Amino acid sequence: MTTTTAVSSAPGTTPPEGADPGSTASHIARTETHAAHNYHPLPVVLASGEGAWVTDVEGNRYLDCLAGYSALNFGHGHPRLVARAAAQLQRLTLTSRAFFNDQLGPFAQALAELTGKDMVLPMNSGAEAVETAIKVSRKWGYQVKGVAPGTAKIITMHGNFHGRTTTIVSFSDDDEATADYGPFTPGFVSVPYGDIDAVAAAIDDSTVAVLFEPIQGEGGVVVPTEGFLPALRALCTERNVLMVADEIQSGLARTGRTFACDHDDVVPDVYVLGKALGGGLYPVSAIAADRDVLDVVRPGTHGSTFGGNPLAAAIGHEVVQLLATGEFQERAQVLGARLEKGLRELIGTGLVAVRVRGLWAGVDVDPSLLTGRQVCEGLMRHGILAKDTHGSTVRFAPPLVATESDIDLLVTTLRTVLEEARR
C-alpha cells in the first residue's frame, strides 16, 4: 500500500514553476482556478479505476470507500456495463423523447418489474427524479385526491438530503445548502425524522405526499426507529397520501436488499431512483409508480431532452439485469456484516457510535479527537478514500464488488488513523 502525501487544495493554488502539468499540484491548481468551488475535495487527483480500487495521477492506489455516494455500487468499470455502453455508443445515443427508441421500452419494463410498479418516468440526475416526484405528487393531489388548487402540501423530514435545486433546498435544514438561495418554494412542512406522531399531526386535507429517505445517507447513514416505515405506510394509506421513498442512495442493493424499504417489507407508492441506476457510467434516474399515479403525466407537462435516451436506457437495463440475480444484494449483506463487526470493535477507541445497514456505514468520531475531515485526510494518506459529513461523522460505502480483505483493510486502516490521533 502506497502512503500518500497531502497536497493543498486551497482556492487559487498555483503549482510550483516548472511543475509537471500532469502532477497532482498542477491538476488541483487548474481545477481550483477555473472551476467553481462548490465542493471541498480531498487533495487527490484520480485518473483510473477498476472494481473497488482507483489510481491517482502519481500512480498511488486507493480503496474507494465512497463509491460515488453509491453511484458505483457495481464498482469502477464493471465489464458488463462497459460492454453494454460501448455497444450502444456505436449505435445510437440520443433521440429526445420526440421519437421512440428501441432501448427505452425494454428498460422501462425491466425497471417496472424490479420495483413491482406499473410504470416508470426516466430522468437524468437524482435531483431531477426528486423534482419529478414532487410534481407528480402535486398533480396527483389535484387531479385524483381533489386537493384545492394551489394548496398541495408535502411533508418532509428533518435532516433530509434530496438534492440541491432551489425547490429541494426549500425543505432542507442544512444552513450551507440554503444560505443566500432564497426566496424558497412554499408547500413543504418538515417534521422530525422517524417521528410517526409528528407526521400524523402534520397531515391535513391539503397533504398529497410524505417524502422521505428510508435511510438518511447525507445525515450519516441514519436508520429510522424500528417500526417507523410500516407505521408510515399504514398512515399514508389511511389518510390517502402518497408515500414517496427516495432510494437514490439507499436503493439498488446498497443495504443488502434491492431497496432499503424491503427491510421492513414496505412498498411505497413512489420509488425515487438514481445514482447506481447508471452504473457509475452515466447519469440515469427515474421514478416508479403505479398507473393511477403516473397517468397524471400527459404529453407536454413534464420532460427532459436526455431523459430516457438510448444510451441511458441501455445502461440502466443492464443494471436491472445485474440486480435480478440477487448476487449484489447478498454481497452487501455478507460484506456489511463483516464491516459492522470490525467497526464496532473500534467503539471506545475513537469512535463513539456506529450505524450500518448492508454495506453502508456511518461512524461518529469523538469530536475531541478528530473531525470527520481529519479522519478522511488520515485515511487518504494510508490509501483509503471516504467522505465526512456533519462535523465528526464519516460515511463508508465501498463498491459491492469489494473483497473481504478490502473490508478488513478499511477497518485496520481506520484503527491506525485513530491510534495516530491518540498518540
Instruction: For 16-27, write each residue's pLDDT tens digit.
Output: 677 788 999 999
pLDDT at 16: 66
Residue-averaged pLDDT of the chain: 96
pLDDT at 341: 98
pLDDT at 174: 94
What percent of the chain has a predicted confidence (pLDDT) above 90?
A: 95
Q: Is the pLDDT of residue 311 over 60?
A: yes
Q: Which amino acid is it at 316?
A: G
Closest CA to 60 of 335, 280, 422, 380: 380
Q: Where are the domains of the chain?
A: 47-65+328-422, 79-325
Residue 413 in grid coordinates: 486502516
- The length of the chain, given as a count of residues: 423
Residue 275 annotated among the catalytic residues of the structure = yes
Q: Is the pLDDT of residue 11 over 50?
A: no
Q: Which amino acid is it at 217?
A: G
The pLDDT of 98-124, averaged and rounded, is 98
CA pair distance 248, 29, nearest whole angstrom:
32
pLDDT at 82: 98
The 10s digit of each residue's pLDDT in 137-162 is 999 999 999 999 999 999 999 999 99
Place of cell 491510534: 419
pLDDT, greater one: 369 or 3: 369
The pLDDT of 5-11, averaged and rounded, is 46
The pLDDT of 198-209, averaged and rounded, is 98
The 10s digit of each residue's pLDDT in 247-267 is 999 999 999 999 999 999 999
The pLDDT of 324-350, averaged and rounded, is 98
CATH code of domain 79-325: 3.40.640.10
The 10s digit of each residue's pLDDT in 182-195 is 999 999 999 999 99
Q: State how beta strands 61-64 and 119-123 pair.
A: unpaired
pLDDT at 19: 75
Q: Dihedral of CA 393/398/400/405: which sign?
A: negative
For residue 123, what are the β-bridge partners? 285
What percent of the chain has a predicted confidence (pLDDT) above 70?
A: 96
Q: Which of 74, 161, 171, 212 is catalytic?
A: 161
Q: Is the peptide bond before 183 cis (omega within 30 degrees of 0)?
A: yes
Q: Which of 56, 64, 246, 406 is catalytic?
A: 246
The 10s digit of each residue's pLDDT in 73-104 is 999 999 999 999 999 999 999 999 999 999 99
Question: Residue 363 is inside which H or E element, if any?
Answer: strand 361-365
pLDDT at 1: 40
Chain centroid offset of residue 73 CA: 10
The pLDDT of 369-384, averaged and rounded, is 98
Q: What DSSP letter does each residue of 234-266 carry, written as one string?
A: HHHHHHT-EEEEE-TTTTTTTTSSSSGGGGGT-
CA pair distance 244, 259, nearest whole angstrom:
13
| pLDDT band (50, 70, 90) for residue 2 | very low
Q: Which of 275, 306, 364, 406 is catalytic?
A: 275
CA distances 418 to 43, 209, 350, 352, 413, Å, are 20, 43, 6, 12, 9
pTM: 0.96
pLDDT at 14: 66
pLDDT at 15: 65
| Residues contacting residue 329 through CB under 8 Å, at least 6 positions apart | 253, 256, 257, 258, 323
The architecture of the domain spanning 47-65+328-422 is Alpha-Beta Complex (3.90)
| pLDDT band (50, 70, 90) for residue 109 | very high
